[in-house]
């Protein structure tokens, strides 16, 4: 039976056609992946299926009956549940409260019956073999667990079609594997699953069939077994892309050390050491990768390095000069560029123009600011040059960053940091949530930059990114360095062990 069928589904926003006559079929008990670059219209399509948007034209058929979905409540009533990319959870409430939100069990007419609720949720967790404690608060559990809560929330409402919007974007490699196992289990239990993604490895591993969307149109519908990653990538981007850019630079092992962290530590709000006695150095012309499961102190390390957090112990030196705990502006002035972890929180100002963003952090430099007054002409020429050199796709030159896709917004940051010509670049999650085409471009820029004799510190939760780009990799676990490896002659197995904090005793220690 066809669980979902869309016939010529179209959605227009004014003149812009986000979805153009989309026709696809999702069969019962299959895992369907919908792939496409950012901005291809995947989310619009899903929002129509979940009742958040109303189609301009076309039909939606659920279980071969035409439906008119006006709200998420309608969708749930029709057995469709959606797990959003940004979780719809309430951090201060517990797991069971979140799962039963909107479907509370009551006693004495007005009070909430917590006991029965917990028992119900316990039962649900057991039924689907999830690992969760119903009493935990959402704010205390990992991202992977939160996602499981979100899935359970839908399952509790008896949906048999689950839509997941970019479910792996926020997960660690281990959590991705766990999610895949869970989804395959759900399929066995009779659920139909639709996954939106642009990670092709996951498509190949997970799905039964794939639909590729580009510019709001269906480019191809096929069985997963009849295709491969390269072909899908080509369909998505419309040209041949190199899926992994690899590092062929040769680093002089005697090159000058320009950046040195010496036994640095810091603590979080609760006084727990999240960066614990870390020492490392970076040489000229080298890309140093920092790998680790997310939440093991990488964020805090980057914050220390980029001046957003203070250390409790230890020193950092750059070109032999002590730069411990100086502020981001001074760090940039010393010649260190920063690509921050969260581009919209720390890297860009969404509501400001492209020009303003392209000088952000460098706005008091003489070339764009004279006697405290910003030089609009100079800024605009800088902007135009950046857009040209880094191939940033913009609609309106004078528009805001909010109008750009994730990949292009990220390229604004990369262009800004690299054109300032720093001696070292801190690149934190440089390709998170970025489309394949832009990933390729950003990787090439990083390699080219290092080749010129500059240093790069690359922090990423994408292990493949770290392994293909870095000259040397240090692995972090629980705030400590658990090992250093040569990416060219180390297998993934060893890295995985180090990431879990298991390391063989080094002989010379």
By CB under 8 A, residue 140 contacts another protein: no
By CB under 8 A, residue 72 contacts another protein: yes
363-382 residues in contact with another protein (CB under 8 A) are none
Residues 503 and 509: their CA atoms lie apart, in Å, by 13
State which of residues 151, 218, 309, 414 lies at the interface with another protein (CB under 8 A): 309
Q: Are 245 and 442 in contact (CB under 8 A)?
A: no
Q: Are 31 and 202 in contact (CB under 8 A)?
A: no
Give least dist CB 310 to another protein, A: 5
Stretch binding another protein (CB under 8 A), from 12-20, 71-79, 238-246, 436-444: 71-79
Three-state secondary structure call for residue 429? coil
Q: Of the two residues 203 and 331, which places its CB atom closer to another protein in the complex?
A: 331
Residue 409 sits at φ, ψ, to 5 deg, of: -65, -40
Q: Provide the greatest CA pair distance for the chain.
A: 76
By CB under 8 A, residue 326 contacts another protein: no
State which of residues 73, 189, 279, 364 lies at the interface with another protein (CB under 8 A): 73
By CB under 8 A, residue 268 contacts another protein: yes
Size of residue set near another protein by CB under 8 A: 36
Q: Are 105 and 120 in contact (CB under 8 A)?
A: yes
Give least dist CB 367 to another protein, A: 27
State which of residues 270, 320, 504, 508 lies at the interface with another protein (CB under 8 A): 270
Q: Of the two residues 1 and 111, which places its CB atom closer to another protein in the complex?
A: 111
Q: Of the two residues 247 and 266, which places its CB atom closer to another protein in the complex?
A: 266
Q: Are 367 and 359 in contact (CB under 8 A)?
A: no
Give least dist CB 274 to another protein, A: 9
Give least dist CB 285 to another protein, A: 31
Q: Of the two residues 126 and 269, which places its CB atom closer to another protein in the complex?
A: 269
* Bridge pairing between strands 257-267 and 65-67: unpaired
Residues 452 and 507: their CA atoms lie apart, in Å, by 35
State which of residues 312, 364, 398, 421 lies at the interface with another protein (CB under 8 A): 312
Stretch binding another protein (CB under 8 A), from 4-12, 307-315, 363-371, 465-473: 307-315
State which of residues 8, 66, 90, 502 lies at the interface with another protein (CB under 8 A): 90
Residues 355 and 383: their CA atoms lie apart, in Å, by 5
Burial 416-455 (b: 16+ CB within 10 A, else e): bbbbbebbbbbbbbbbbbbbbbbbbbbbebbbebbeeebb
Give least dist CB 160 to another protein, A: 18
**β-bridge mates for residue 194, sequence order:** 32, 163
Per-residue x/- mask for another protein, residues 275 to 304, rule CB under 8 A?
A: ----------------------------x-
By CB under 8 A, residue 308 contacts another protein: yes
State which of residues 1, 16, 65, 92 lies at the interface with another protein (CB under 8 A): 92
Q: HSE of 157 in the Cβ direction (CA atoms, 13 Å)?
A: 27
Stretch binding another protein (CB under 8 A), from 267-275, 438-446, 454-462, 482-490: 267-275
Q: Are 275 and 454 in contact (CB under 8 A)?
A: no
- Token pair 């000058």: residue: 256
Per-residue x/- mask for another protein, residues 105 to 124, rule CB under 8 A?
A: -x---xxx------------
Residues 212 and 103: their CA atoms lie apart, in Å, by 36
Nearest to 199 by CA among 229, 235, 178: 229
157-176 residues in contact with another protein (CB under 8 A) are none
Nearest to 264 by CA among 321, 310, 320: 310
Stretch binding another protein (CB under 8 A), from 80-88, 183-191, 238-246, 379-387: 80-88
Give least dist CB 119 to another protein, A: 18
Q: Which two tokens stand for residue 401?
A: 């960053």
In angstroms, what CA-CA distances link 337 with 274, 281, 428, 456, 458?
Answer: 24, 17, 11, 9, 12
By CB under 8 A, residue 263 contacts another protein: no
Q: Are 278 and 479 in contact (CB under 8 A)?
A: yes
Positions that interact with another protein (CB under 8 A): 71-73, 82, 84, 86-93, 97, 101-102, 104, 106, 110-112, 153, 266-271, 303, 307-312, 327
């Amino acid at each position: 039976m066809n669980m979902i069928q869309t016939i010529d589904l179209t959605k227009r926003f004014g003149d812009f056609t986000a979805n153009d006559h989309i026709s696809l079929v999702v069969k019962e008990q299959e895992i369907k992946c919908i792939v496409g670059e950012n901005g291809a219209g995947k989310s619009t399509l899903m929002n129509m299926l979940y009742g958040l948007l109303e189609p301009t034209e076309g039909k939606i058929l659920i279980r071969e009956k035409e439906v008119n979905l006006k709200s998420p409540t309608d969708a749930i009533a029709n057995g469709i549940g959606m797990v959003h990319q940004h979780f719809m959870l309430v951090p201060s409430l517990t797991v069971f409260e979140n799962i039963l939100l909107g479907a509370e069990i009551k006693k004495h007419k007005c009070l909430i019956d917590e006991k029965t609720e917990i028992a119900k949720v316990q039962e649900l967790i057991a039924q689907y073999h999830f690992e969760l404690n119903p009493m935990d608060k959402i704010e205390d559990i990992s991202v992977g667990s939160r996602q499981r809560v979100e899935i359970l929330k839908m399952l509790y409402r008896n949906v048999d079609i689950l839509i997941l919007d970019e479910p792996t974007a926020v997960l660690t490699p281990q959590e991705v594997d766990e999610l895949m196992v869970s989804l395959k289990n759900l399929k066995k239990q009779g659920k139909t699953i639709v996954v939106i993604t642009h990670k092709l490895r996951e498509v190949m591993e997970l799905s039964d069939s794939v639909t590729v969307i580009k510019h709001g149109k269906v480019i191809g519908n096929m069985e997963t077994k009849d295709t491969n990653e390269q072909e899908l990538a080509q369909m998505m981007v419309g040209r041949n892309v190199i899926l992994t850019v690899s590092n062929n630079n040769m680093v002089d092992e005697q090159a000058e050390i320009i950046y040195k962290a010496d036994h640095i530590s810091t603590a979080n709000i609760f006084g727990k050491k999240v960066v614990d006695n870390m020492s490392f150095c970076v040489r000229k012309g080298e890309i140093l990768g920092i790998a680790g499961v997310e939440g093991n102190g990488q964020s805090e390390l980057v914050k220390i390095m980029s001046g957003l957090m203070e250390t409790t112990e230890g020193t950092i030196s750059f070109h032999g000069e002590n730069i411990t705990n100086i502020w981001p502006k001074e760090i940039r002035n010393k010649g260190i560029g920063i690509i921050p972890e969260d581009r919209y929180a720390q890297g860009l100002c969404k509501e400001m123009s492209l020009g303003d963003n392209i000088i952000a952090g460098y706005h008091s430099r003489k070339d764009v600011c004279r006697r405290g007054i910003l030089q609009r002409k100079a800024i605009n020429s800088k902007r135009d040059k950046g857009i040209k050199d880094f191939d940033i796709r913009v609609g309106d030159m004078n528009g805001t960053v909010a109008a750009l896709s994730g990949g292009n917004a990220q390229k604004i940051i990369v262009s800004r940091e690299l054109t300032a010509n720093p001696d070292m670049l801190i690149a934190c999650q440089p390709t998170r949530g970025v489309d394949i085409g832009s990933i390729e471009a950003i990787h090439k820029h990083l390699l080219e930059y290092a080749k010129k004799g500059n240093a790069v510190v690359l922090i990423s939760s994408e292990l493949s990114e770290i392994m293909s780009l870095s000259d040397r990799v240090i692995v972090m676990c629980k705030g400590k360095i658990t090992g250093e490896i040569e990416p060219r002659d180390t297998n993934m197995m060893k890295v995985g062990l180090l990431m879990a904090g298991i390391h063989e005793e080094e002989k010379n220690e």
